[in-house]
Chain A
Amino acid sequence: MILSDTEIIAALENQQIFIDPRPTPDKITTSAVDLTLGDTFLKWDFDLGSGISFSVDPAAIDYPQLAAKYLKSMPIDEHGCVIVRKGEFVLATTAEYVRLPESSRLAARVEGRSRLARLGLAVHLTAPTIHSGFRGRITLEITNQSSLPILLRPGSSICQLII
């Protein structure tokens, strides 16, 4: 079952879903909530120099330690925007904080926008499920799969939450 716009509004009213800042009416479509892009962009930087090999074992890594060492902030322009080039992988988050209380028994999926997909921009990498009980800003695993550099602007509509 997917919540319709009236059901989403009711769920927000009843605090079965919590989104901060609360979406304005134009951000609620017939069957989804539009979410916007946050203002921090991170990128893995494994430039270790020549002759050094490095691989990651997902079963054994200390992810926070790895991230602290190799996950770098991307340079932003005077408007806070970044350019994602062909093949680049960027981590960002939604500007909105989302909470799906366990008691609501609601889960959600984050999906891209078709206009961005047409440009070759994907906003998640096989991790679209927002489980019941989730709290936080949603992490976006952004990839540019076209040859066109794409500008990411904080506050722009980046994805939709289907509940």
Chain B
Amino acid sequence: MIQRASLHVEVADGSFPHEKVVTFLAGAQKYSLFVDERDVNGRSIDVAVVAFNGDSVLIDLPSDTFTSGSRVWVPRTLLELDSVAA
């Protein structure tokens, strides 16, 4: 079972009509990525949890960020964890 979580993000319009730009801050690092509008739930997106390290959580995003890949460390405070299977 893969643990899921909701990641708190800022949401703005994307380049295509069906997409949104979501942005979040992980420490000093700002991440942005495009996601489909159907994957935005208010001001959060669904992510998969990969690992924990203290107060940091390694997550898989639904697509690549512009500054790195789709797997990033974020503060636990940005997440609402649940245990629903993918």
Q: How many residues of A contact B (CB 8 A)?
A: 24
Q: Is B62 an interface residue (CB 8 A)?
A: yes
Contacting pair A137 B63 (CB below 8 A): no
| Closest CB in chain B relative to A73 CB, distance in Å | 9
User: Which residues B1-43 have CB closer than 8 A to chain A?
Assistant: 1-2, 12, 14-19, 21, 23, 32, 34-36, 38-39
Q: Which residues of chain B are within 8 angstroms of A97 by Cβ–Cβ distance?
A: 36, 38
User: Which residue of A68, A133, A136 contacts B36 across the interface (Cβ within 8 Å)?
Assistant: A136
Contacting pair B66 A135 (CB below 8 A): no
| A91 to B39 CA separation, bound complex (whole angstroms) | 21
Q: Which residues of chain B are within 8 angstroms of A71 by Cβ–Cβ distance?
A: 15
Contacting pair A131 B15 (CB below 8 A): no
Contacting pair B32 A135 (CB below 8 A): no
| A134 to B34 CA separation, bound complex (whole angstroms) | 11
Q: How many residues of B contact A (CB 8 A)?
A: 27
User: Which residue of B17, B23, B63 contacts A136 across the interface (Cβ within 8 Å)?
Assistant: B63
User: Which residue of B1, B2, B18, B23 contacts A137 across the interface (Cβ within 8 Å)?
Assistant: B18
Q: Is A102 an interface residue (CB 8 A)?
A: yes
| Nearest CB in chain A to that of B49: its residue | A102
Q: Is B79 an interface residue (CB 8 A)?
A: no
Contacting pair B32 A64 (CB below 8 A): yes
| Closest CB in chain A relative to B50 CB, distance in Å | 9
Q: Which residues of B contact A (CB under 8 A)?
A: 1-2, 12, 14-19, 21, 23, 32, 34-36, 38-39, 48, 60-63, 66-67, 70, 85-86
List 17 contacting pairs A-B, 8 Å CB cutoff, sorted by A: A40-B17, A64-B12, A64-B14, A64-B32, A64-B34, A64-B66, A93-B16, A97-B38, A101-B86, A102-B86, A103-B2, A133-B70, A134-B62, A135-B36, A136-B19, A137-B36, A139-B34
What are the 3 tightest A-B residue pairs by CB atom distance, in nearest-first order?
A: A103-B86, A135-B62, A63-B66
